């Protein structure tokens, strides 16, 4: 696991975009795993600029998003489907049919998770998985627990995660209580992982990550097991 520190969020985001663009140039039909949240917004903005300038082409790539609230309608202002389209997909030259996001409207959540896993396998697996970090060390909606599930699954949101996400909703009561998320196995199967970390609220999780101990109480610690993982961070600990 290689860790790079940056003086600010802007320079970290630029580097993340540079890495993603480089991977696409190396394999124009690559499969790209993507996160939501505030941390990747700078990276998405840079990639949009690069796409419009003709420096990166998204026309042949396939994407898989990490997670989605459940249940939630796609046109809900807080759905990850809408987030991704508003902040990234609608501004680049990607084939809309090549975008994959867990369906928060699926009538059968477990069946949706199984189908999502099959789609990833059918696409040949994820070449580059970009992930963020929650303040409590979660990745996607893989929360600290006594055990973690390997594949895409339905999970409950912890109060800590609901608290962290309530700023996007009218109140904490409006935050969905469940989510569909790739499992740790799904994430670790990616050929490469890019972990981007920003903000003081992540400082303690970063400290724990750098200890090198692998524990289900800190899901991000499993990144240590990956053979090709890079970490970009704008807080030095």
Task: Find where tokens 């101990």 sit.
Answer: 213
Catalytic sites, residue numbers: 67, 136, 138, 143
Which tokens sit at 111? 């069946």
Residues 125/190, Cβ–Cβ less than 8 Å: yes
Q: What distance in Å separates the CA atoms of residue 204 and residue 54, rounded to the nearest whole number?
A: 39
The C-alpha atoms of residue 230 and residue 2 are separated, in whole angstroms, by 5
Provide the b/e sequence for 127-166 (b: ≥16 CB within 10 Å).
bbbbbbbbbbbbbbbbbbeeebbebbbbbebbeebbebbe
| DSSP symbol at 218 | B
d(CA 16, CA 19): 5
- What Rg do the C-alpha atoms of the chain give, in angstroms? 17
- C-alpha 157/C-alpha 43 separation (Å) is 26
């Amino acid at each position: 696991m290689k860790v790079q520190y940056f003086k600010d969020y802007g320079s970290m985001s630029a580097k993340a975009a540079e890495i993603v663009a480089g991977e696409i140039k190396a394999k124009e039909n690559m499969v790209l795993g993507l996160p939501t949240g505030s941390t990747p917004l700078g990276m998405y903005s840079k990639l949009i600029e690069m796409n419009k300038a003709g420096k990166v082409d998204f026309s042949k790539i396939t994407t898989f998003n990490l997670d989605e609230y459940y249940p939630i309608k796609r046109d809900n202002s807080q759905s990850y489907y809408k987030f991704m389209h508003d902040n990234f997909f609608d501004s680049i030259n990607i084939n809309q049919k090549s975008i994959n996001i867990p369906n928060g409207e699926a009538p059968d959540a477990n069946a949706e998770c199984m189908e999502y896993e099959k789609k990833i396998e059918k696409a040949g697996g994820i070449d580059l998985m970009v992930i963020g970090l929650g303040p409590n060390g979660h990745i996607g909606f893989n929360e600290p627990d006594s055990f973690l599930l390997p594949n895409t699954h339905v999970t409950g949101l912890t109060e800590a995660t609901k608290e962290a996400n309530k700023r996007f909703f009218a109140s904490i009561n409006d935050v969905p209580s469940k989510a569909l998320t790739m499992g740790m196995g799904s994430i670790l199967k990616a050929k490469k992982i890019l972990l981007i970390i920003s903000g003081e609220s992540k400082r303690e999780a970063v400290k724990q990550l750098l200890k090198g101990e692998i524990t289900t109480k800190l899901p991000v610690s499993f990144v240590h097991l990956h053979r090709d993982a890079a970490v970009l961070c704008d807080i030095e600990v």
